[in-house]
Amino acid sequence: MRVVAALAVAAVVGGAAVPAASAPFLIVADKVVAGVRMTATLPQARSVLGAPDTTRRASSAECRAVWRSLGLRLTFLDLSDGAPCTKGGVVIAVAKGAQWHTRKGLHIGQRVGRLRTLYPGATFHSGAPYQGWWLVPRRTCAEVGSQAYPGLLARADRKRIAAFVVTVAACE
């Protein structure tokens, strides 16, 4: 995931929140997680989700925040001035826990067969770093290699959905 994270857009686009009608554990494609738009800053995410349980700077460009009670980890990236915990935008969201679901109705804990019904175009990839079911496939722009990656990925364990991973990359 670091390859795409390194390519991610460092600039934050306006607005962190989505309309109040959004469910708190809803993932909308590869755009919104629990009411927080991908590319939102940590302060913007905090205003929607409350204070994270832990926040740590993983590198000069990367910050990770965890909301244990929500089963959510967000990774923020700032390639401009090295302030990922304040100015970085969300580039990766990992959601675990039975309460999480996609707009199409796929829930953590459901069987992979349900995934195939709701996402008939989904494909399984076994190679790192994106092992799992690619629900929303994307490509980076030609300037950075036009690489395929999953905007929304479902990880499975014992034929059941175990986690959702949302990733944003440059040139979407």
* pLDDT tens digits, one per residue of 77-129: 998 888 999 999 999 999 998 899 999 999 999 999 999 999 999 999 998 88
**pLDDT band per the 50, 70, 90 thresholds, residue 3:** very low
Which residue matches tokens 């300037």? 143
Q: How far apart are CA 140 and CA 138, in angstroms?
A: 7
Per-residue model confidence (pLDDT) at position 171: 58
Report long-range pairs for 109-112 (Cβ below 8 Å, ≥24 apart): 109/160, 109/161, 110/160, 110/161, 111/159, 111/160, 111/161, 112/156, 112/159, 112/160, 112/161
- pLDDT tens digits, 42-79: 999 999 999 999 999 999 999 999 999 999 999 999 98
